[in-house]
Structure 1
Amino acid sequence: MHGVRVYQLMNWRRFPEAIREAENWIAEDPENSDAYGMLAQVHLKAGSYDQALHWSSESLRCDPENPIAWFVRTITLYSQGEEKLFMEAVVEAQRIDPLESHYPFLKFNLYHKKGSLKEAREELDQALRLNPDRALYLAADSYLRANSRDFESSLASEGMALFQDPEDDQTFLHLAWAANRRGDYGKELEFMKNAVRIDPADEQIRAEYLSSLQKKYWFYRVLLMPFVVKKRLARWQFLLIWIVLWLVFRPLVVLFLLLYVLAHWASRLMVRVQVFGWRSLFRKIS
């Protein structure tokens, strides 16, 4: 009964109440590893990483193979950027719970950020084998395929993710990244609106939403066109084009760069006024 209550309160983001419920559970049953594990999970969800690690360790003291504790520990280490400790923990976590699809997904994220697309593909494929209908993994597949310049398959994966009728901020965030990579700024803004609607308190989502709002201004989108082309070319091809343009049309290239910088800051100021009001120009936004 305690576990169900803690889980409900945590999902409702009523973290202080969830913590009190878990602490009452521990007081009643001090050797219950799940009670410590659930308390750790609440702290993880609340962003208290040190507390999450502490209580997951307490859970593992009671039961060295508690799957909740290993789940929390693995995600916490990933969230803290502790790559070496994360890789060590995820090996043990997968041994204990080989059917947990989120472990290969986290490894996919790590490899994808490092640009190791082959390893990222292998891990994401494993996550999809374990949970083929999860919208987040399908959205990530769309993003990975877009980064591999397979735009048609990226759109197909996007469609499958949306078919699941997702209500998860990270799903829409990955779909927005994929749309940006394809140069579809209209869709990027649409997906970012959904992400910020679901979790308006997330700093990363808010920052990326404001960035996507800049692209609704036609003058900024026009100056982004070369970057849309870049996404469809190999790196060496794009670099070669810029070298040729610099040698042949240097004044025009300089003018373009100046206009791009001006458009970037002008659209950024316009978004700031639109979202926070004109008084925000004279104060810091937290």
Structure 2
Amino acid sequence: MYDSDSDIGWTFYKDRPEWKDITPVPEDDGPNPVVVIAHSEKFEDVYDYFRAVLQKNEKSERVLQLTKDAVELNPANYTVWQYRRDILKALGTDLRSELDYVESVIKHSPKNYQVWHHRRVLVEWLQDPSQELELTGDALLQDPKNYHAWQHRQWAMKTFGLYGKEMEFVENLIKEDVRNNSAWNQRYFVVNNHFGWSDMNVQKEICYAMEKIKFVKNNESAWNYLRGVMLHDKRGISGNAVVTSFCEELYNNKCRSPYLLAFIIDICDDAIKKGESSSFHGADRAIELCHALATKYDKIRSKYWNYIGEKFKKLKKEQEDQQNNTETEEN
């Protein structure tokens, strides 16, 4: 809960003279409720009055305050937030003060979807995203993997073009934690939506990912980023000599990260599909690596690697049969 649920110093709505005209509406769980939630007297008081004004469709300053009390008791209540927005519109309330209010709620409830959604609507109404990068940045300093903060940040950036200093922000997060998958995802988001995948940018991002992999070789986030960037390389994952050489150098230096082995398997697969397979990057190599992953380096996913290995074995047999048929026809 956003605020303490203590009744100390609290004046119940039923005891407030200005609310005497409202008959509270208690919660109706039906005649045979399966699970009755034990609410405090304060909670029941606030929400009994909220249901009452909702039925009356009253939009006033006192109801606006009531929604604030309701939010403090349950900041995830969609109906309360939606009705609060209806009241703000009806009263023509200063939305700048509402921004300040919702920021305070976010600080107490940073992983609450409804709060972030309310913030987004306010920014849309105002067409002013000037505080959003700072707000989400503060939230991400507290929790670099806060999905709602990232989602709001990406929305603000994409809607209002706020890409200017984002790469610097992302690089600082990756420096602090090279395994921060959210930061890697944001880096991809910025390149994909702002800089674009020119060949120069592709090679730049490849080099960036490889440098981070050298630092921590068993880093799934960096390997996934490299794989994603390679999708934009017109030469394909097997056609970039810098990348293939990088992988083989790691392998020859005894690196057996499952992410490296899986990446080499992808190189083999791509080479086979393009008809460019070799003893170095072909079915035999892929089968060998699948066996190594299944039996030693990634045993938790052994069934998966055995399945992939069988696919390469079938592919190898098809290639051998095709070659035999060709030789027979020639003879």
TM-score, scaled to structure 2: 0.34
TM-score by length of 1: 0.37
Higher share of residues assigned helix: 1
Mark the structure with the bigger radius of gyration. Answer: 2
